[in-house]
Structure 1
Amino acid sequence: MTHVSKQSFLLIICLALGTTTLQAQKKLPAQDKILEVMHRTNKYFQEKWPDVGKRIVTERSRASNIWTRGVYYEGLMALYKLDPKPTDLEYTTRWADFHQWNLRDGETYTRNADNQCAGQTYIDMYLLDPKPYKIEKIKASIDSMMRTTKVDDWSWVDAIQMAMPVFAQLGVVYNEPAYWERMHEMYMYTRNKHGDNGLFNPKDALWWRDKDFDPPYKEPNGEDCYWSRGNGWVYAALVRVLTTIPKDAPHRKQYEDDFKAMSEALVPIQRKDGFWNASLHDPGNYGGKETTGTSLFVYGMTWGINNGYLDAKKYQPVATKAWNAMVKDAVHENGFLGYVQGTGKEPKDGQPVTYTSVPNFEDYGLGCFLLAGCEVYKLVTARKI
């Protein structure tokens, strides 16, 4: 073999390896592989937090049923429904029992959406074993809001995910459409009235995080500030509401239209490596891989495909690329989840975001990842891919 032919041979091998890698990126893993990575990341977290009632201490001490932990349990319940393991149900039950099925710091009558987030899991647990005490307090919290005419509580978009699905769930449990009406009023106030003209920009089909970020606020490159995880929260909330309310529920089309518009907007701004940046329209502003927003977008897109709202030909490659990227680049061998942006409200918060950086709260990142993984698993199951 001549020197030139050796080079040609090596080039063929490299091209073949590159093609194989590219094909792998375009294909979702087998079901057992998806379950394995979800259980591995979950095992890491549960072993780190064996005491479900232990307070979360960062710059200060917080109860273990704040929104960050509530989001984790949303993901855990999705995993439990997919692959029921008694240890996961027991872990969740111990947590709820510790808090007496109440909201943060025992404040039942809060209007703060963050503090109502745990109620989503309480209701899920109630549906598995209907005992009234499990939802007595979350129902009392929401009912106290229903007795007023105030609808402007959700002044930041994260709140939509934390509380909107609770209204949807209670409407189903009690067969009471009034919950859905109030939910719609509050959603539309956030969408169209908070800030100068609402927090949703129909032109870009994306959301400003709160009134501090709508125009004239701009990112360094002159674009509007669309925070990845903030948009992910709304996207996930729409999924959870659409999953819960009946097909003929009032205002359902509004949520479907917003979900599809957001889906369309997310496709062209995906990073080449499969992730989304923390700043959706300014990749130069704390750009880089970010797992929480990416997880929520995968969750929404795969749910949309699974439920006939999104065209698989268009959206499946996007979701596949993102899921494979997270598993390959963010998940550590021991189950730790990298590239999770810490708490905050804009791209610069919770930095640095790296493979090894530990965010101030690890729980919500895992919750988002588990929600995504469960829908990816269903996609593989349904489409036999």
Structure 2
Amino acid sequence: MKKIFIMLTLAAMAMPMSAQNEKMDGVMNTTRKVNNFFMHKYADPTTPTNVGRLRPSNLWTRAVYYEGLMNLYNIDANQSYIDYTDKWADFHKWMPRNGVKTTDADDQCCGQTYIDRFFQTGDSSKINSIKENIDLQIKSNRVNYWTWIDAIQMSMPIYAELYKMTKDRLYLDYCMKMYRWSRNECGGGLYNNKTGFWWRDKDYVPPYKESDGKDCYWSRGNGWVYAALVRVMSQMDKKDKYYKELENDFIKMSKAFASCQREDGFWNVSLVSPNTYGGKEVTGTALFLYGFSWGIMNNILPAKTYKKICDKAWNALSKDAVHEDGMLGYVQGTGKDPSAGQPVTYDKIPDFEDYGTGCFLLGATEYYKLLKFRLK
């Protein structure tokens, strides 16, 4: 009798584990499907984009895709991902878009992947140009470069990665000065410390209001900052004074985003003004999933509260946004506010597909890590 009881107990314990493994397999398969769709459609990563005009393929939209691809490679070490990345980077000579003298964060974003490949290979030729670029920017002593919150994601992680590589705190000191300027001074401060939300740039701080009288907090813009904090804090010691500063913002932002998740698991394009621009949207949702998952695993966010938010977000993304062939629906096109790229629908192809895929890969892979983390 005792033996039977033990067997039944073990079986009961195994069932949830089996379901968890099955869920992880589902996340991996869906993530691969989305990525394979993109790599097949854009088989030659050196081809310029052609949306209105030709742009080199190391522009920010493509750079965000490679951020996601590197995150996927960390859990799915497929050589084709590396080959695809290196063909792209070799073609661009591991150079920031518009050369080493650029101060545009969008031009610098590709450097995050260059540095990832340096950490994987130890080949310094991959990071010489982006390091030169950042060193030149620091010498300017200007801190008012990031006038739009997207820029925080595009550039700030590079400084943290260079700090991790060189142990030179100058990189952290400088990027924190720029972050604080954007947060507290640009347009009177782009961060609303009372609510935990960010205004996209000075054009949207009060007295600007949406048509229903509410503040304009753009989903993807807030997601950019959230992802940046993850990527920066990941390079720092938890005892670092800057880590504590960013952690405080991260926690307040997490609470703000959690408060406005839709019942279906997505977030609206306009976070607190759904009557103005509501509706399902992938990029903001995926970036929030990325941050929540990471926050749980790093004991910043309580799993009891945030795990169910992650589950809802993943269910929304995987069931409602991913087409059978791996195409993503509900991706808002490029722009600077909730009105851009409207309407955002399941079948509409955005002007650029790459950053949408990149955001999805960031969120999906971090959620996969969270599921694996909870198996331990």
TM range (shorter): over 0.9
Provide the C-alpha distance between the structure 1 equivalents of 2:242 and 2:66, rounded to a whole number of angstroms: 28
Aligned match of 1:124 in 97, 116, 120?
116
Output the amino acid matched with 1:271.
R
Q: How many residues align?
A: 358
Tell me what 1:67 maps to. 60
Structural mapping, 1:152-171, within 5 Å: 152-171=144-163
Aligned residue in 1 for 2:168: 176
Structure 2 equivalent of residue 381 of structure 1: 372
Q: Is structure 2 residue 75 aligned with structure 1 residue 78?
A: no
Match of 1:92 in 2: 85
Compute the TM-score of the two structures, normalised by the length of structure 1: 0.91
Matches of 1:247 and 1:382, distance apart in 2: 19
Structure 2 distance, partners of 1:365, 1:291, is 7
Please tell me whether the aligned partners of residues 113 and 154 of structure 1 are also in contact (alpha carbons under 8 angstroms): yes
Q: How far apart, in 2, do the equivalents of 1:250 and 1:116 lie?
A: 26
Structure 1 segments (4+ residues) deviating >4 Å: none
Unaligned 5+ runs, structure 1:
1-26
Superposition pairs for residues 7-46 of structure 1, below 5 Å?
A: 30-46=23-39
C-alpha displacement at 1:28, in angstroms? 9.7
Q: Secondary structure in 1 aligned to 2:277?
A: coil
| Counterpart residue number, 2:320 | 329
Deviations 1:229-282 (A, max 9, x none): 000000000000011122233411110000000000111211111100000110
From 94, 99, 111, the counterpart of 1:101: 94
Alignment of 1:146-225 (within 5 A): 146-195=138-187, 197-225=188-216
Does residue 1:113 correspond to 2:124, yes or no? Answer: no
Residue in 2 that maps onto 1:312: 303
Q: Which amino acid aligns with 1:275?
A: F
The CA distance in 1 between the partners of 2:341 and 2:44, in whole Å, is: 25
* Alpha-carbon offset, residue 286 of structure 1: 2.1
Q: Tell whether 2:83 aligns with 1:58.
A: no
Aligned to 2:349: 358
Instruction: Please give the TM-score of this superposition, normalised by the length of structure 2.
Output: 0.93
Which residue identity is paired with 2:93? Q
Question: Take 1:140 and 1:350, find their aligned partners in 2: how far apart are those partners?
Answer: 36
Contact 2:238 2:244 in 1 (8 A): no
Contact kept? 2:182, 2:189, Cα under 8 Å: yes
- Distance in 1 between residues matched to 2:240 and 2:93, nearest whole Å: 32
Residues 354 and 145 of structure 1, relative CA distance in 2, 3 Å threshold: same
* 1:242-261 matched pairs, under 5 angstroms: 242-261=233-252
The alignment status of 1:141 with 2:109, answered yes or no, reads no
Q: Sequence identity of aligned pairs in percent?
A: 51
- SS of match in other structure, 1:188: helix
State the shift of 1:31 in Å.
1.2
User: Does structure 2 conserve the Cα–Cα contact (< 8 Å) formed by 1:28 and 1:324?
Assistant: no
Residue 10 of structure 2 aligns with which residue? Answer: none
| Structure 1 residue 307: Cα displacement | 1.0
- Inter-partner Cα distance in structure 2 for 1:53 and 1:207: 34
Alignment of 1:298-309 (within 5 A): 298-309=289-300
